[in-house]
Amino acid sequence: MLRNKGIILGIGLVMLSVSCAKKVDVSKLADKNCICCIEDKIKENRFIAAYLGSSKKAKTIRLKVNANTELVVFDDKTKVVGAESLGAIKKQTCLIVDFQKKGSDLYATSVEALPPLIERVKEYVVQTKYMQEKIKNIPPDTTNFTLIDSRPRAPYLEGTIPGAINIPYPKLKGAKDKVALLGKDKNRELIFFCGGEHCNLAPGSAIEAKNAGYKNIKVYHEGFPTWRDQGNPICMQMDGFLSFVKKGVSMIVVDLRPANDAKASHIPGAINIQPKDIGQWQARFPKIVNPYIKMAPIVFYLDSNKCDKGGKQNFDVAPVLKTVFSWGYRNVSILNGGFEKYKASQAKVESNKLATKITYVRKLLPGQIADKDFVDKYGKLTAADVIVDARPADEFSAAHIPGAINIPATDITPATVEQLKNYTNVYFYCNSGILAEIAYDKISKLGFNKAKFLKTTIVHHEDKVEIGQYEKFFITKKKAGK
């Protein structure tokens, strides 16, 4: 027999009788990380699974279907689609494998290599210039389109493209009534974006919308990082600002209201600058002597300004933001709702205590570990330490930091605490820091106090792991690990 014990489960279809129709048990034949938006292709005698490799000598293909590893036989009659040959398919590529059962073995009749998610929606992709035409003002005129941030709630609150609403991809994917989220008009233009070109949340959301019957879909695949880095205005939601305040995040807060109004009542720590005078303030802002000052959060607010639907402005605030951006800063935003919404949140308000000097000292978030410290500690790991990749299983399988284990942020439960309780130090990471921070927050709320998280950019190369968005540190794969 060429199959392991898991293969019995792999072909053990659970047939449910519903109005005389048969339904395939997805968990047995289709890997959850490969069926994104192609659920209609699930059927009997078909694996939709991640490719783990093949053996020419044994004439077998190894597949990953959720927790199971499956073996399928191939021969000269097996048709290969989407690649020149089996040998040309990269590991972790998602495959559609149709098979026939012959005795105790499964024989592949065809193998189709699925393109990366973005390739499935490449006709929808738009560039930053297209977005700049859409978002000309704050708030933008969204009469004829809906802008959707597909990222998790936390990064959306901390900063998004003006006019965007937040529908995280998992929420859209799991929604039984997608019309309730996306609207009744299926001809309306929907623009999805997420965390940049390494992020699959927007492409996945676009396919979900397509499968739900929407006809006018766009994907801004360069995403929020490119929008921000090219000097376009950012909208910070009030809950994100209040979260930053609670966590003690260092910010430069600027009150743009008339001097008397600002003096009478203002956000603690704010400095008052009149919009017409902004050009004279460059020398009073911190000098950009390192990348962390370059990315210092600079937040402007007015009385009741909004940067989304139905919002009004006393004046066009975008030129103020662009002026500060022209000085070299790259994290410049307007506070959605302004001072009135801040007061309505019952947050602390001060009078006659406006700052007279702009200062910025970078602070790590509670639980955050600096990039360099993580790399230093990585070289000294012991059996009491563990690195946890908080990404989905397919991304972990494709590439990860050597020695890491995989616990997706979505799977953090009390059982995770039991799993990790015997470690002295637990380090969460992902490719951007978003999922790592979510994992840290979730496990901390469960009472686990031995975790830290890495909030940075990670790029996986063939021979090394690149860590750091502003300063670069490297882990050599062939020498790394415990």
pLDDT score at 394: 72
Which tokens is 420 given?
């990790």
For 293, residues 6+ apart whose C-beta sits below 8 A from its C-beta are: 286, 287, 360, 362
Given the DSSP bridges, would you call strands 473-476 and 464-467 parallel, antiparallel or unpaired?
antiparallel
Which tokens is 395 given?
């991304």
pLDDT score at 83: 86
Q: Is the dihedral of CA 442, 444, 448, 452 positive or negative?
A: positive
Per the listing, tokens 């927050």 go with 441
Nearest 10 degrees: Cα torsion 234, 238, 240, 241: 90
Closest residue by Cα to residue 437 from 363, 362, 367: 367
pLDDT score at 8: 32
Is residue 439 within 8 Å of residue 390, measured between CB atoms? yes
Q: Is the dihedral of CA 46, 51, 52, 55 positive or negative?
A: positive
For 221, 355, 441, 470, the CA distances from 422, given in Å and listed in that order, are 41, 47, 19, 34
Backbone angles phi, psi at 159, to 5 degrees: 175, 130
pLDDT score at 11: 32
Which tokens is 332 given?
């410049």
Is residue 9 within 8 Å of residue 17, measured between CB atoms? no
- Tell me the domains of the chain and their CATH numbers: 5-114 (2.40.50.320), 118-229 (3.40.250.10), 234-344 (3.40.250.10), 371-476 (3.40.250.10)
pLDDT score at 309: 66
| C-alpha span between 158 and 240 (Å, rounded) | 4
pLDDT score at 94: 87
Instruction: Please give the helix or strand (H or E) that residue 326 lies within, else none.
Output: helix 318-326
In three-state secondary structure terms, 310 is: coil
For 88, residues 6+ apart whose C-beta sits below 8 A from its C-beta are: none
Per the listing, tokens 């009390």 go with 414
pLDDT score at 15: 30
Q: Which amino acid is at 248?
A: G
Of the chain, the end-to-end C-alpha distance in Å amounts to 36
What stretches in the chain show pLDDT beneath 70?
1-27, 33, 36-37, 309-315, 478-482
In three-state secondary structure terms, 418 is: helix
Q: Please report the DSSP string for 39-106 in residue order.
A: GGG--TTEEEEEEEEEETTTTEEEEEETTEEEEEE--TT-EEESSSSGGGSPTT-EEEEEEEEETTEE
Task: Kindly state the DSSP code that residue 213 receives in the 8-state scheme.
Answer: T
In three-state secondary structure terms, 460 is: strand
pLDDT score at 16: 28
Is residue 473 within 8 Å of residue 428, measured between CB atoms? no
| C-alpha span between 132 and 94 (Å, rounded) | 35
| C-alpha span between 71 and 91 (Å, rounded) | 15
Tens digit of each residue's pLDDT (9 = 90 or more) over 169-227: 989 989 999 999 999 999 999 999 998 877 888 998 999 999 899 999 999 999 998 99
Decide: residue 116, CB within 10 A, 0-12 exposed, 13-18 middle, 19+ buried: exposed
Provide the residue count of the chain.
Answer: 482
| C-alpha span between 76 and 408 (Å, rounded) | 39
Tens digit of each residue's pLDDT (9 = 90 or more) over 14-51: 332 333 334 445 567 888 767 766 777 888 899 999 88
Given the DSSP bridges, would you call strands 189-193 and 217-220 parallel, antiparallel or unpaired?
parallel
| C-alpha span between 156 and 149 (Å, rounded) | 7
Per the listing, tokens 């009749």 go with 109
pLDDT score at 378: 94
